[in-house]
Amino acid sequence: MEIIDTFAEARSLNRGTVGFAPTLGFVHEGHLSLIERARRETDHVLVSLFVNPLQFGEGEDFAAYPRQLDRDARLIESAGADVLFAPAAEEMYPVEPATTVDVAPLAAHLDGVARPTHFAGVATVVAKYFAGLRPDQAYFGRKDAQQLAIITRMAADLSMPVDVIGCPTIREHDGLALSSRNVYLQERERDQALSLSQGLMAAADRVDAGERSGPALELIVRETVPTFEFEYVAVMNRATVTPLAVLDRPAFLAVAGRVGKARLVDNIHFDFQNGEVSVDRGVRLTGPSLLYEQ
């Protein structure tokens, strides 16, 4: 694997179909699953690693966000990447960026409320990756469902010739969705954190049993873990990220809540084929995540 720090050099190494997975580093099995899938589906696998200041809000954990390039490079290579694009801030932002890419209608709900500048920061940097690195297929986790919807729409709206592919959420053995921020959790907080996936799995069971009402599914989540204080519980149209009353098209059920210092999000996706819904609950690891390896 080559480690490259300029857009031009990374782009010059592209050959055949290019699969791309962007990361903020401190990678876990979720990221690796994206890279492994890119390896299976494309000729050339390009991964980026950059902790993007634009997508952290005031008072968020930009400075504290874990950075471990050697560890990350080893894992990214082992998952099958050909090139790791790890630019310095000077390559990403040689001058103060003046350009914002915003998909405002899709950022009006959910995390867009608590983090008003977050999604414009994400859309801007991903637009930059897509324009500057020119992948043919780009892989994102379904765990960040709103982000995935926004990036999908951004690429389509800007006629970018890239397929944006959402991949199943990877969960720890107990159901907690993998997140680099899980390492912040103390032991007691971890039990609380499980409320998110427990609520979602209960709702997934009810969809399998025939429930199609958005509000009913939201209630099931809340009733399953009545002591947990959710920031939101919402069934959303996947194309528009607006509330969906009846589960009759691609959608997701998203939850968020604060546990200790960490703000956690999770969701399940509802896919449709021939009018039949199937629930994507994600994939569970059988053992501890490599996040906890020393």
| Spatial contact of 34 and 167, defined as CB atoms under 8 Å apart | yes
Selected from 161, 210, 275, 287, the binder of its own copies by CB under 8 A is 161
Question: Is residue 136 close enough to count as binding its own copies by CB under 8 A?
Answer: no
Long-range Cβ pairs for the range 93-100 (8 Å, 24+) = 97/54, 97/124, 99/124, 100/124
Letters for 88-127 (x = contact with its own copies by CB under 8 A, - = none) are ------xx-xxxxxxxxxx----------------xx--x
CA distance 281 to 279: 6
Q: Applying CB under 8 A, what is the total number of residues that bind its own copies?
A: 32
Question: Is residue 8 close enough to count as binding its own copies by CB under 8 A?
Answer: yes
Selected from 4, 7, 200, 244, the binder of its own copies by CB under 8 A is 7
In the complex, least distance from residue 119 CB atom to its own copies, rounded to whole angstroms: 11
Nearer to its own copies, 157 or 191 (CB): 157
Nearest to 67 by CA among 79, 52, 84: 52
Nearer to its own copies, 146 or 192 (CB): 146
In the complex, least distance from residue 254 CB atom to its own copies, rounded to whole angstroms: 19
Phi, psi (degrees; rounded to nearest 5) at 239: -75, -30
- Would you tell me how many other CB atoms lie within 10 Å of the CB of residue 245? 12
Residues contacting residue 87 through CB under 8 Å, at least 6 positions apart? 5, 6, 7, 48, 50
Question: Is residue 130 close enough to count as binding its own copies by CB under 8 A?
Answer: yes
Nearer to its own copies, 131 or 183 (CB): 131
CA distance 60 to 96: 20
Question: Is residue 160 close enough to count as binding its own copies by CB under 8 A?
Answer: yes
Residues of this chain, 20-79, that bind its own copies according to CB under 8 A: none
In the complex, least distance from residue 96 CB atom to its own copies, rounded to whole angstroms: 9
Question: Is residue 278 close enough to count as binding its own copies by CB under 8 A?
Answer: no
| Binding segment toward its own copies, per CB under 8 A, in 67-75, 148-156, 212-220, 228-236 | 148-156
- Would you tell me how many other CB atoms lie within 10 Å of the CB of residue 221? 26
Which residues are catalytically annotated?
Answer: 31
In the complex, least distance from residue 197 CB atom to its own copies, rounded to whole angstroms: 30
**Region for residue 7 given its phi and psi (left: phi exceeds 0; alpha: psi -120 to 50; beta: otherwise):** alpha
Selected from 68, 74, 78, 157, the binder of its own copies by CB under 8 A is 157
In the complex, least distance from residue 163 CB atom to its own copies, rounded to whole angstroms: 13
Nearest to 240 by CA among 149, 112, 111: 149
Residue type, 144: D
CA distance 131 to 237: 27
- Rounded to the nearest angstrom, the gap between the alpha carbon of residue 190 and the centroid of all alpha carbons in its chain is 20
Nearer to its own copies, 166 or 282 (CB): 166
Residues in contact with its own copies by CB under 8 A are 7-8, 11, 94-95, 97-106, 123-124, 127-132, 134, 153-154, 156-161
